[in-house]
């Protein structure tokens, strides 16, 4: 199963593609989409176009995205939500089933604790995906989100086999 993980952001949207084959995980590619400055609509369009190109290039079979958390900056949270909406729309247009995960669930799955810091996430991503070299926290978080989805999907598939 090839999974794309998305760490939504208006300035920088991290993405990471991994392959999961049973318990084997492999890093395929990762990076960040950037929107530049200026008009909000044009920034969102830039994110959409870049993400659509990535989906076309790497052809994932599943997607995962981080849920939005509300912070003290209401305007910032709204802009993050708009970028997340663009990502969800782009993933849905590609026909992908989308898993959504709370930030603490991603950290607990990948690091083992729900309040891990950015350095711990990056370290565990590098350990679990040999050869990956995330260039910044957005890319590392996106790979962690993809890992979280792969782990949760594996558990669901195993549970389905037991029921059958």
pLDDT of 59 reads 97
Residues forming the active site: 7, 66, 138
Tokens of 31: 């990076």
Output the known binding site for Mg(2+): 7, 66, 138
Domains along the chain?
Answer: 2-163 (3.30.420.10)
Give 159's Cβ-side CA count (13 Å radius). 6
Concatenated DSSP letters of 5-18: EEE--SSEEEEEEE
Reported as a single tens digit per residue, the pLDDT across 114-143 is 889 999 999 999 999 999 999 999 999 999
The DSSP call for residue 68 is: P
pLDDT in tens, 13-62: 999 999 999 889 999 999 999 998 889 999 999 999 999 999 999 999 99
Q: Determine the pLDDT at residue 77.
A: 84
State the pTM of this model.
0.91
Nearest 5°: CA angle at 51, between 70 and 86? Answer: 40
CA distance 119 to 136: 10
């Amino acid at each position: 199963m090839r999974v794309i993980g998305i760490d939504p952001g208006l300035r920088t949207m991290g993405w990471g593609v991994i392959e999961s084959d049973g318990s084997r995980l492999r890093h395929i590619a990762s990076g960040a989409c950037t929107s530049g400055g200026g008009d909000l609509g044009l920034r969102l369009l830039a994110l959409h176009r870049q993400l659509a190109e990535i989906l076309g290039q790497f052809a994932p079979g599943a997607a995962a995205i981080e849920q939005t958390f509300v912070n003290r900056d209401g305007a910032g949270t709204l802009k993050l939500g708009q970028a997340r909406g663009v990502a969800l729309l782009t993933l849905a247009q590609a026909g992908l089933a989308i898993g959504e995960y709370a930030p603490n669930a991603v950290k607990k799955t990948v690091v083992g604790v729900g309040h891990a810091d950015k350095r711990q996430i990056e370290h565990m991503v590098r350990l679990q995906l040999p050869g990956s070299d995330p260039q910044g926290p957005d890319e590392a978080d996106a790979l962690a989100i993809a890992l979280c989805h792969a782990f949760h999907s594996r558990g669901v598939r195993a549970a389905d086999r037991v029921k059958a």
